[in-house]
Amino acid sequence: MSLIGRRTALSLRRQRRHSRISISTSSILDSIKQDKPQTSLLDDKVDIAIIGGGIAGTSLAYHLAKQSNKKVVLLEKSELTAGSTWHAAGLVTLYHPGINIKRLHWHSLNFYVQVEKETGQQIGFHQPGSLRLATNQVRLDEMKYQMTRAGWNKNPQKLVTPEECKELCPLMDIEAANVIGGLFSPCDGHIDPYSLTQAIAIGARKHGAKLHQKTEVTKLDLKNDGSWDIGTNQELSTQVLS
Ligand SMILES: Cc1cc2nc3c(=O)[nH]c(=O)nc-3n(C[C@H](O)[C@H](O)[C@H](O)COP(=O)(O)OP(=O)(O)OC[C@H]3O[C@@H](n4cnc5c(N)ncnc54)[C@H](O)[C@@H]3O)c2cc1C
């Protein structure tokens, strides 16, 4: 077989693998009875299935749908944010000594602002900034180390002197607290995790992802060809390319 012939055959095989989704008639009838959007159950191709509609799954759905032309589906057994996202304290920070996590934090801070603008869904993002205090040399060294990681992504975080700490927080007695330095992160703040997840979900849908709530994944079978069979309580049986 020629190279082009092999490619065509491979592509045809991939297309066939994508299209193996079966939906039982009863689940469609159930969805009509329960007034659910039945069209969302009628996809015949799924490239990516995400299980769980917390902040992680929803954000994954947004980014994958936006950055690829793949069919993305999210399956949530209850409703979006029903898990620990709903209980989250809501603090967001840029502080982290690891380069990759720090990059993710920086992306997140910018993404939250962008997704609010993009979707019009308010997320309750307040950014008063955060001031971390060092009252011993070990803590100050840790802050300096953290700042060496900041160079990988330019951002407004900076080390501050005890006097600058006082300016930022005039009520503080820096002598009594033995403050020898601090780290100021002006972008840090607080977000309502529920509203944020809903905003990201709106964006994910806008970019083509399908989000199914009240859909619990009950079965995951890895097939010999590397794809997955996913069973749910909605009797939606999906095959996904690994
Ligand atoms: C803005 C924000 C601020 C935060 N601030 C803090 C903070 O200050 N301090 C802190 O400690 N943490 C904080 N967090 C983190 C938070 O506490 C959680 O760790 C985080 O939200 C977990 O998200 P998750 O998507 O991984 O999990 P979850 O939110 O738990 O989502 C998992 C989802 O999976 C679903 N699910 C489970 N099994 C199935 C199945 N079989 N089929 C289908 N669905 C299923 C669940 O119903 C659930 O909705 C914050 C998070 C956010 C978004």
Question: What would the pLDDT profile of 179-195 be if each residue is shown by its tens digit?
Answer: 999 999 999 999 999 99
**Is there a single domain that holds both residue 186 and residue 222?**
no
Distance CA 226, CA 239 (A): 10
**Is there a single domain that holds both residue 143 and residue 234?**
no
Reduced to 3 states (helix: H, G, I; strand: E, B; else coil), residue 237 is strand
For the stretch 24-27, contacts whose Cβ atoms lie closer than 8 Å and that sit 24 or more positions apart, written own/partner, are 24/235, 24/237, 26/235, 27/234, 27/235, 27/236
pLDDT exceeds 70 at position 38: no
162 CB-side CA count, 13 A: 12
pLDDT exceeds 90 at position 86: yes
Is-contact 92 104, C-beta < 8 A? no
CA dihedral 57, 220, 101, 121 (to 10 degrees): 0
Report the number of distinct structural domains present in the chain.
2
**Is there a single domain that holds both residue 129 and residue 75?**
no
**Is there a single domain that holds both residue 187 and residue 198?**
no
Residue of 63, 84, 111 with the most ligand 1 atoms within 8 Å of its CB, for mutation:
84
CATH number at residue 63: 3.50.50.60
Distance CA 228, CA 223 (A): 6
| Amino acid, res. 193 | P
Is-contact 62 207, C-beta < 8 A? yes
Distance CA 182, CA 29 (A): 61
- Listed in sequence order, the DSSP H helices in 93-219 are 99-119, 137-150, 162-168, 193-206
- What is the tens place of the pLDDT at every residue in 115-136? 999 999 999 999 999 999 999 9
What residues make up the domain containing 148? 91-191
Q: 181 CB less than 6 Å from ligand 1?
A: no
Distance CA 103, CA 227 (A): 32
**Is there a single domain that holds both residue 78 and residue 98?**
no
CA of 78 to the centre of ligand 1 (A): 13
**Is there a single domain that holds both residue 203 and residue 182?**
no
What is the model's pTM?
0.81
**Is there a single domain that holds both residue 186 and residue 116?**
yes
Distance CA 18, CA 12 (A): 10
pLDDT exceeds 60 at position 5: no
Q: 83 CB less than 6 Å from ligand 1?
A: yes
100 φ/ψ angles, rounded to the nearest 5 degrees: -65, -45
**Is there a single domain that holds both residue 106 and residue 119?**
yes
**Is there a single domain that holds both residue 172 and residue 230?**
no
Distance CA 23, CA 40 (A): 11
- What pLDDT band is residue 44 in, cutting at 50, 70 and 90? low
**Is there a single domain that holds both residue 182 and residue 112?**
yes
Q: Residue whose CA is closest, atom 3 of ligand 1? A: 90
**Is there a single domain that holds both residue 120 and residue 184?**
yes
pLDDT at 14: 38
Tokens representing residue 223 in the block: 């097939």
Is-contact 69 97, C-beta < 8 A? no
**Is there a single domain that holds both residue 220 and residue 185?**
no
Q: Residue whose CA is closest, atom 16 of ligand 1? A: 88
Residue scoring higher pLDDT (76 or 39): 76
What is the distance of C-alpha 61 from the center of its chain? Answer: 8
Residue of 50, 51, 55 with the most ligand 1 atoms within 8 Å of its CB, for mutation:
55
Tokens representing residue 200 in the block: 């990201």
Q: Residue whose CA is closest, atom 35 of ligand 1? A: 52
